[in-house]
Amino acid sequence: MKLSLANLNELRKKVQCLDYDVEKLRKNSLQDPQWVAFGSGNIFRGYIARVIEDTIKYGFDRGISVVETFDEEIIDKIYTPYDNLSLSVTLDKDGDFSTRLICNLAEALKLSTDKKRIEEIFLNKNLKVASFTITEKGYSLKNGAGEYFPNVKSDFEKGPDFASHLMSITTAMLLKRYTSSKTPLTLLSLDNHSKNGDKLKSTILLIANTWKENGFVDADFISYLENDIGYPNTMIDKITPRPADVIEKYLNEHGIEDIGHVVTGKNTFIAPYVNSETAEYLVIEDDFRNGSVPLAKAGVYVTDRKTVDKVDTMKLTTCLNPLHTALAVFGCLLGYKSISAEMKDEDLNKLVTKIGYDEGLPVVVDPKIIEPKAFLKEVLEIRLPNPYMPDTPQRIATDTSQKLSVRFGETIKKYVEKNEVQKLDLIPLVQAGWIRYLLEIDDEGNSFEMSPDPLNETLKEQVKNLKIGQEDVSSIESLLTNSTIFGVNLVEIGLADKVKKYLAQMLKGSGSVRKTIKAALEEK
């Protein structure tokens, strides 16, 4: 059976789904859109869409208008042919899989062809939320050298009517809304940035202020953005790997056909189904400006800003994502293709356990709504070792240059504040591991291809003088001063020598990455 609206009744007999009138909900959503979502990738299809669909039980009778501005192939290959239906398969640690059919994606729009419709949605006074699941780099206006991207420069000069970067497009849409009705709105960032709402707000305001200087907008528009638009901070957590063939086979065995994954030209790995773990945490600051959606009833923590920031610090900067990045970098270097297999490796398991308990946890403030030690224990003992999760170090290594500053930089800053930065050993080991990874040669001397990263070419240039078998690492001094990448200037704060020491050890020859990890763990 194909995944299509024509088969809805049959599909409903095979998998879990909410009992509601899909046609009516979609029709209402097209006439009166209340939630627009930018970014149509895996976490959105598998998690966010499901949570919003769950709110239907509590009175939110709208679906979602999905907009893709970056990788439109996703819409052509994964949305349109399947009537915008999505299958979310969760995989628990004992191998119990559960499948939910998600039907609330009312329309799937592409910037290139649907700009008028996107404008229309922003003009709707009842629009409550515009959400973003667009990866960390989706918010970046500058390249690694700190210069504005050419399209951003052009957006600044040509103004709102010619906006091309998603952040400028969003600002331009807000201008339309301001001009037509001045109705408030909530912009909800659901990406892995620390204080992601603040980041979104400052980016939108930077664009708007530049437009003001260039005569495209007035001061009242800036006040509107500051006072009438909400930018809640959020924390989102549900490990969602790329689609795996084993899940496709599982669904085929349950009678659902023709759901193969694609890898788009822009390197998005996506399928009509999404596979993810059962654990999930979504925490949102209560700052909804044009009416709220009953998210709390659907299991979302809706709370104050301080609590969100504490939970976010716990997950993103200490108890989950730094461990992920450590496993990503060393997994690629040690030839691993699976996170759960890495957790069976005594050295890597010990490494992430010590990063979590010894270097991360001591600087975490308890957010109260989720207990940090219990969260870390669940990550280390249940979530990462889950043998049914098809997660890979290669996925997590994607865009590492954009993530290091948040995942390690925030913790380092806390140690700097306490004047205790020399207590850190394993975080510098991971930073050295990442630089070693940039050589694209694994610990056995075989070449491998780095995961995509917007800075790959610049970074390759910066490590071009490093050679396996040669312990001179002086050429990376300037990279270590880059606080955009590391969150801090490692030379200034006194961690650079440790990173260089580990890197030199890792460059000795075959097997020296493993030896360096073992030696660092023994010293700790």
Ligand X SMILES: O=P(O)(O)OC[C@@H](O)[C@@H](O)[C@H](O)[C@H](O)CO
E-assigned strand segments in 32-190: 35-38, 64-68, 86-91, 97-102, 105-110, 129-132, 185-189
Query: Which of 468, 310, 487, 521 is closest to 401 using CA atoms?
Result: 487
Query: Which of 455, 345, 454, 464 is closest to 393 using CA atoms?
Result: 345
Q: To the nearest whole angstrom, how small is the minimum distance from the Cβ of residue 239 to ligand X? A: 4
Task: Work out which of 55, 203, 398, 516 binds ligand X, going by CB under 6 A.
Answer: 398
Site for ligand NAD contains 137 (CB under 6 A): yes
Residue number, 279 or 468, with CB nearest to ligand X: 279
Residue number, 190 or 208, with CB nearest to ligand X: 190
Subset of 58-97 contacting ligand NAD (CB under 6 A): 68-71, 74
Quote the CA–CA distance of 303 and 356 in Å, as a whole number.
Answer: 26
Quote the CA–CA distance of 326 and 350 in Å, as a whole number.
Answer: 11
Query: Which of 186, 190, 166 is closest to 51 using CA atoms?
Result: 190
Instruction: Compute CA distances 336 → 332, 411, 436, whole Å.
Output: 6, 27, 16
Q: To the nearest whole angstrom, how small is the minimum distance from the Cβ of residue 403 to ligand X? A: 6
**Cβ contacts of residue 197 below 8 Å, gap of 6+?**
187, 188, 189, 231, 232, 233, 234, 285, 287
Place of tokens 């399209």: 151
Q: To the nearest whole angstrom, how small is the minimum distance from the Cβ of residue 474 to ligand NAD? A: 34
* Contacted by 414, from ligand X, ligand NAD, none: CB < 5 to 8 Å by type: none
Instruction: Compute CA distances 345 → 62, 212, 383, 409, whole Å.
Output: 47, 55, 16, 26
* Contacted by 512, from ligand NAD, ligand X, none: CB < 5 to 8 Å by type: none
Contact string 466-495 vs ligand X (x = CB under 6 A): ------------------------------
* Contacted by 396, from ligand X, ligand NAD, none: CB < 5 to 8 Å by type: ligand X
* Contacted by 437, from ligand X, ligand NAD, none: CB < 5 to 8 Å by type: none
Please say whether the beta carbons of 279 and 239 come within 8 A. Answer: yes
Q: Which residue type sits at 495? A: L
Subset of 145-184 contacting ligand NAD (CB under 6 A): 166
Q: To the nearest whole angstrom, how small is the minimum distance from the Cβ of residue 443 to ligand X? A: 22
Site for ligand X contains 309 (CB under 6 A): no
Subset of 166-225 contacting ligand X (CB under 6 A): 192
Subset of 39-58 contacting ligand NAD (CB under 6 A): 39-44
* Contacted by 268, from ligand X, ligand NAD, none: CB < 5 to 8 Å by type: ligand NAD
Please say whether the beta carbons of 506 and 432 come within 8 A. Answer: yes
The number of angstroms, rounded, from the C-alpha of 346 to the middle of its chain's C-alpha atoms is 28
**Cβ contacts of residue 95 below 8 Å, gap of 6+?**
387, 388
Please say whether the beta carbons of 55 and 295 come within 8 A. Answer: yes
Count the site residues for ligand X by CB under 6 A. Answer: 12
Site for ligand X contains 343 (CB under 6 A): no
Site for ligand NAD contains 136 (CB under 6 A): yes
Q: To the nearest whole angstrom, how small is the minimum distance from the Cβ of residue 406 to ligand X? A: 9
Site for ligand NAD contains 283 (CB under 6 A): no
Which residues of the chain form contacts with ligand X (CB under 6 A)? 136, 192, 237-239, 320-321, 324, 396, 398-399, 403
Which residues of the chain form contacts with ligand NAD (CB under 6 A)? 39-44, 68-71, 74, 133-138, 166, 191-192, 236-240, 268, 270
